[in-house]
Amino acid sequence: MYSTNLDLDQRGKSLLEKLNSLAKKYNIKMWDLGAACSSDSSAQVDSGEAKQMKGSQRSNITIRVWNESSLVGVTSTSDLTETGLEKAIEGAYNASRFGNKNEIPFFSPQSKSPLAKVRQPIKDALGIKKLLELLIEAESSLINSHGAIKTVPYNGISETNYQRLYINSDGAYRFMRRTQSALYLYARAQEDSRKPRSSGAIRYAYGANGLDIEGCIKEASDRTISHLNYKPIETGKYLVCFTPESFLELLNAFNSLFNARSILDGVSLSDKDSLGKKIAVPSLSIYDNGLHESNISASTFDGEGTPTRKICLVEEGILVNFLHSEATARKFGVEPTGHAGLGAKVSVGPDWFEVSNSNDEKTDISSPDHKTYEEKYVLVEGLNAIHSGVKASQGSFSLPFDGWLVNKGEKVSIEAATIAGDIIELFNNIVNVEKINVITPHGICPHIWVEGLSITGEA
């Protein structure tokens, strides 16, 4: 079994008693605590030999206290002894004197509401030696799958036991535990007198025994080989089909559209009056659904103890909701949505996007290769340089990408190119949201077709 020096569920009640006692000592009326601990094992290989093997145990807590003026102080520590807790709560109390009067969070009104029940089986750990054996075998199988594949320069396999705890002085008590394993394989192929080409795949499971290793090898091999036959592309405007993975990458890059914290900070395209406005074609609906059964990393509550739930963000092209913490929800006059971190100024972020076609009558293109489109189009597999190529507050993007030019069924890899545009224009230039949803490691989404996107080929 996984082991950890800290069982948060067992220690939770003890922490509650100690913190209540310390709060009385320092005359603190209001406090909360978020804690997390994990036990991790991972391996990487190079040409059949161990490249890196790591095992670690991590634990940390964040304590917030409110002083007599309702100002908040925050301290983080990994020392859960009674002495360590006293230093942390004393430090947070002292820090509260310098709290921001304009940013005062409170307890979530839903911090004691019932949590959703999710199926998250706890799996036994295989151990780092077995992980290494599995990865060496996977690397060998991937290299042997095609003569042009020479190496697998980026690879890794890991397993994690993760626990989270949230408690507060009002009696809230939240605990969750999950196990998770991940595998990624990124191959490099090269033919004589040709540039090297690369691609890869990733798989997640509740335990290493559940990883689809063969599927990961085949996908990494197929994707890599499909890029060997490459040609440059002419600069111009194209019909573009985004794979589910690439559209989710773009959506995550612009998640500030839905982020109430970003709106209040003035770094979002949206504002308080944006709800109810059309931002996309009627066939597009977007949800944040952290509890989806395919989300291996699902958490039933956020950093403030608010229950996680499915929330509709865009309904038939209309912006209908934002993601909130307790503080942003209070300023907007709504309820928290379960997307908060923990801190003096609480962060907000999405969990797991679910994109779908909101029009059941729409004609679907169900062919895996989309050959029903006779005209020329670009199929985008993945986007690169997201952090440097996206200006989220302006809505613009200019990103190198991996993909193919498809012309009457002939699929040719694009040597090097950049795709650019404006996210709202892209949403409104969608010509087809397919009905077949694809589950990916980071969300669920169909193929999305967009007309008139600018693509710049390599000079």
Are 146 and 250 members of one domain?
A: no
Does residue 218 sit in the same domain as residue 234? no
Distance CA 400, CA 105 (A): 40
Report which DSSP code applies to 78. S
User: Does 2 fall in a domain?
Assistant: no
Name the residue among 355, 383, 347, 351 with its Cα closest to residue 267: 347
- Shared-domain flag, residues 30 and 95: yes
pTM for this predicted structure? 0.92
Tokens at residue 358, please? 């909101």
Instruction: Note whether residue 417 is domain-resident.
Output: yes
Q: Is 267 a member of any domain?
A: yes
In a domain, 310, yes or no: yes
Q: Which helix (H) or strand (E) holds 427?
A: helix 423-428
Q: Does pLDDT of 458 surpass 90?
A: no
Six token digits for residue 162: 């993760």
Place of tokens 């290299």: 143
Residues 274 and 368 in one domain: yes
Q: Which of 223, 253, 272 is the last residue of a domain?
A: 223
Phi, psi of 324, rounded to the nearest 5 degrees: -130, 150
The domain boundary, picked from 167, 198, 223, lies at 223
55 shares its domain with 105: yes
Dump strand ranges (E) for 70-195.
72-77, 149-168, 173-189
371-422: pLDDT as tens digits: 445 579 999 999 999 999 999 999 999 999 999 999 988 899 999 999 999 9
pLDDT band at 214 (very low <50, low <70, confident <90, very high): very high
76 beta partners? 62
Last residue of a domain, one of 166, 193, 223: 223
Domain CATH number, residue 116: 3.30.2290.10
| 244 and 199 in a common domain | no
Q: Is residue 336 part of a domain?
A: yes
Q: Which two tokens stand for residue 378?
A: 């670009």
Closest CA to 407 of 380, 371, 382, 434: 371
Rounded to the nearest 10 degrees, the angle between the axes of helix 213-225 and helix 128-144 is: 30
pLDDT digits (tens, 9 = 90+) for 326-356: 999 999 999 999 999 998 789 999 999 999 9
Nearest-angstrom CA–CA distance, 59 and 38? 7
Q: How far is it, in rounded angstroms, from Cα 395 to Cα 449?
A: 19
One domain, residues 265 and 143:
no
Residue 431 lies in a domain: yes
On whether residue 378 sits in a domain, the answer given is yes
Give tens-digit pLDDT for 258-291: 999 999 999 999 999 999 999 999 999 999 999 9
HSE on the CB side for 157, CA within 13 Å? 28
Same domain? 151 vs 166 = yes
Distances (CA, A) of 180 to 32, 38, 39, 211: 27, 11, 11, 10
Give domain status of residue 1, yes or no.
no
Q: Are residues 65 and 99 in the same domain?
A: yes
Contact 411, 369 (CB under 8 A): yes
Print the domain residue range for 436: 229-459
What pLDDT, on a 0 to 100 scale, did the predictor assign at position 409? 83
Q: Are residues 209 and 253 in the same domain?
A: no
Packed helices 8-25 and 82-95: angle between N→C axes, nearest 10 degrees? 50
Do residues 199 and 347 share a domain?
no
Domain count, the chain: 2
Tell me, yes or no, whether 219 and 233 share the same domain: no
